[in-house]
């Protein structure tokens, strides 16, 4: 039996970010449990992009604050390596008139909160990524401060900093039961240990719904397989992430030379499947050949899949719940948990320590779905 | 660049006698490796010709830049990937040598954040 101030379920980026921020705020006896190895879940499977070009104000704010943190992460976390924060931008292609019009609105929204994005013509976009097929899009938006962070190194940076502040981590330890009594949490029972605690953070990524149900809390999220591939290394040829929602692709060259690219499967059904399919490779190849013919010449090294934990409005749930005291959640990131992790940890720390929250953060509460509050729906998702 | 030779005889790395296989040395072919003129034989793969010319360092590891040599020889490992006639990532273990080929293994333009 171990006494814990809080048990954080999931040692992915959201879990380690919150553990670090809580410990920095002075909380002791923080225990993080994960059923697998370090970065086994969605964090270690993600596309490694970080962007601020969103269609909803809420996502723009979360992204902007997170990007600011990535810029100072090595120093603040006293990381002995480098998180590989590369700011060479995101170039988002518009391929239809509707998309072009939507992007004009998006840029206006982004600029209004200080995100330096801009609308570009085809010619201007070609100056940034010369090997783009000029016939494959009609306009673009570009934000030079978007970019790339290495998910493994970022998670390790948080993990090591949290450990130095006394946080205890338990890998290969699956949570089996959350014991609840009288609207309070009593215990978390894992396959190896019992933790006496009155607080639980659900940062279980693809398994957030199941962890919620363990505590009797319904969370309106589901998981969906998103596939991704990595190519052999090539000489540095593409600075920004190139992305298109209508063509269903994101594609970036990472610092060691490989390209990472992914797309969503319109026919995916909610499940914990994370397998790879030949259909993904087939469609991906056709799309890359269309937009970035030079990149299509590279060979694929491997493919894999990971879970998007999807919320009804494609915006995250960073929240406590009236149903159960001491139960907190960071889920429903809809594919963007990695890039929002810095602000996720900061907000949850304020929620858990009952500090005052900025106005915008109330919109991340789970009750927005219960009360049928009309929220913005995020369309800028691959 | 180190030239590897058999210590006693001073011969190069080419196998001349083999219990089962025979290797014809029909036509001598000129090529360049990182700008230096070299010769192989018709029917050689690029990698075989390089080894015959004493080239042991084919590429470098990504993070620590340790030398990587001729390894799997069947196109799987990527250790022998080089730029051939300007085309990157050519598997030299599977590609036959041609007259006047320009072979390079410089990967210095890749940004490595270590």
Please give chain A's pLDDT, 382 residues, in tens.
Answer: 999 999 999 999 999 999 999 999 999 999 999 999 999 999 999 999 999 999 999 999 999 999 999 999 999 999 999 999 999 999 999 999 999 999 999 999 999 999 999 999 999 999 999 999 999 999 999 999 999 999 999 999 999 999 999 999 999 999 999 999 999 999 999 999 999 999 999 999 999 999 999 999 999 999 999 999 999 988 899 999 999 999 999 999 999 899 999 999 999 999 999 999 999 999 999 999 999 999 999 999 999 999 999 999 999 999 999 999 999 999 999 999 999 999 999 999 999 999 999 999 999 999 999 877 777 888 888 8
The overall average pLDDT reported for chain B is 84
Return d(Cα A248, Cα A102) in angstroms, integer. 16
Q: What is the ipTM of this complex?
A: 0.71
How distant is the Cα of A201 from the closest Cα of chain B, in angstroms? 34
Closest CA to A222 of A368, A318, A58, A335: A335
Residue A253's Cβ-side half-sphere holds a number of Cα atoms within 13 Å equal to 22
Choose among B63, B109, B113: nearest Cβ to A235. B109
What is the reported pLDDT for B25?
A: 83
Taking the alpha carbons at both ends of chain A, their separation in whole angstroms is: 44
Domain B28-102 sits in CATH at 3.10.20.440
Report yes or no: A258 and A111 within 8 Å, Cβ to Cβ.
Answer: no
Strands (E), B18-112: 28-33, 36-41, 59-60, 67-68, 81-84, 87-91, 101-104
Size of interface A-B (CB pairs under 8 A): 35
Report yes or no: A260 and A288 within 8 Å, Cβ to Cβ.
Answer: no
Interface test with B, best of A152, A153, A255 (most B CBs within 10 A): A255
User: Is B112 or A176 the better-scoring residue by pLDDT?
Assistant: A176
Q: Which tokens is A63 given?
A: 């992204």
What is the reported pLDDT for A72?
A: 98
Query: Mean per-residue pLDDT for B24-35?
Result: 92
Choose among B63, B110, B113: nearest Cβ to A233. B110
CB contact under 8 A, B107 and A256: no
How distant is the Cα of B29 from the closest Cα of chain A, in angstroms? 28
**Any B CB within 8 A of A116 CB:** no
Count of residues for chain A? 382
What is the reported pLDDT for B11?
A: 61
What is the reported pLDDT for B10?
A: 52
**Any B CB within 8 A of A235 CB:** yes
What is the reported pLDDT for A349?
A: 98
Give the angle subtended at the CA of B95 by the CAs of B91 and B96, to the nearest 5°: 155
Residue A111, φ and ψ in degrees, nearest 5: -60, -35
CB contact under 8 A, B107 and A255: no
Q: Which tokens is A111 given?
A: 């600029």
Q: How many CB atoms lie within 10 A of CB A275?
A: 11
User: Is B25 or A250 the better-scoring residue by pLDDT?
Assistant: A250
**Any B CB within 8 A of A131 CB:** no
Residue B107 confidence (pLDDT) above 80: no
Confidence band of B14 (pLDDT split at 50, 70, 90): confident
User: Is B4 or A372 the better-scoring residue by pLDDT?
Assistant: A372
Closest residue in B to A232 (Cα) is: B89
Tell me which residues of chain B have a C-beta less than 8 Å from any C-beta of chain A.
62-63, 78, 81, 88-89, 107, 109-113
Instruction: Name the pairing type of β-strands A184-190 and A175-181.
Output: antiparallel
User: What is the set of domains in chain A, with CATH numbers?
Assistant: 2-45+152-221+313-370 (3.50.50.60), 86-147+223-309 (3.30.9.10)
Give the bridge partners for B33, in sequence order.
B36, B103
Cβ contacts (< 8 Å) between B107 and chain A: which residues?
233, 235, 257
Choose among A84, A257, A298: nearest Cβ to B110. A257
What is the reported pLDDT for A49?
A: 97
Residues B45-82: pLDDT tens digits? Answer: 999 999 999 899 999 887 788 889 999 999 998 899 99
Return d(Cα A364, Cα A360) in angstroms, integer. 8
What is the reported pLDDT for B110?
A: 47
């Amino acid at each position: 039996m171990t006494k814990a101030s809080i048990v954080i379920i999931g040692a992915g980026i959201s879990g380690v970010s919150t553990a670090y921020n809580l410990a920095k705020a002075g909380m002791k006896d923080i225990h993080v449990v994960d059923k697998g190895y370090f970065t086994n879940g969605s964090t270690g499977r993600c596309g490694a992009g970080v962007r601020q070009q969103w269609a909803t104000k809420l996502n723009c704010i979360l992204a902007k604050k997170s990007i600011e943190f990535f810029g100072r992460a090595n120093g603040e976390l006293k990381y002995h390596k480098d998180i590989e924060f590369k700011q060479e931008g995101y170039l988002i292609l518009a391929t239809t008139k509707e998309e072009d019009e939507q992007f004009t609105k998006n840029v206006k929204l982004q600029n209004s909160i200080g995100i330096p994005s801009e609308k570009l013509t085809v010619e201007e976009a070609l100056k940034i990524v010369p090997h783009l097929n000029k016939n494959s899009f009609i306009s673009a938006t570009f934000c030079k401060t978007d970019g790339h962070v290495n998910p493994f190194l970022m998670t390790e940076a948080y993990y090591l900093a949290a450990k130095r502040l006394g946080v205890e981590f338990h890998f290969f330890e699956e949570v089996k039961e959350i014991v609840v009594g009288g609207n309070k949490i009593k215990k978390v029972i894992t396959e190896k240990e019992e933790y006496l605690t009155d607080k639980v953070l659900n940062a279980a990524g693809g398994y957030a719904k199941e962890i919620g149900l363990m505590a009797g809390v319904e969370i309106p999220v589901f998981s969906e397989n998103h596939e991704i591939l990595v190519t052999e290394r090539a000489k540095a040829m593409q600075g920004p992430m190139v992305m298109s929602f209508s063509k269903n692709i994101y594609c970036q060259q990472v610092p060691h030379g490989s390209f990472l690219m992914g797309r969503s499967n319109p026919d995916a059904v909610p499940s914990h499947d994370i397998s790879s399919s030949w259909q993904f490779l087939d469609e991906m190849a056709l799309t890359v050949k269309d937009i970035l013919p030079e990149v299509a010449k590279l060979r694929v090294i491997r493919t894999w899949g990971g879970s998007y934990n999807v919320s009804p409005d494609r915006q995250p749930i960073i929240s406590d719940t009236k149903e159960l005291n001491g139960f907190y959640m960071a889920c429903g990131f809809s594919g963007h948990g990695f890039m929002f992790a810095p602000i996720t940890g900061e907000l949850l720390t304020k929620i858990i320590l009952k500090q005052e929250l900025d106005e915008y953060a109330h919109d991340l509460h789970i009750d927005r779905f219960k009360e049928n509050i009309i929220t913005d729906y995020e369309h800028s998702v691959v | 660049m180190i030239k590897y030779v058999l210590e006693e005889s001073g011969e190069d790395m080419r196998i001349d006698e083999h219990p089962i296989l025979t290797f014809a040395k029909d036509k001598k072919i000129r090529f360049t490796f990182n700008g230096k003129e070299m010769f192989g034989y018709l029917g050689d793969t690029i990698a075989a010709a390089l080894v015959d010319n004493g080239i042991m360092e084919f590429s470098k590891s990504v993070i620590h830049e340790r030398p990587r040599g001729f390894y799997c020889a069947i196109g799987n490992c990527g250790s022998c990937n080089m730029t051939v006639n300007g085309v990157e990532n050519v598997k030299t273990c599977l590609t036959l040598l041609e007259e006047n080929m320009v072979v390079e293994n410089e990967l210095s333009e890749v940004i490595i954040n270590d």
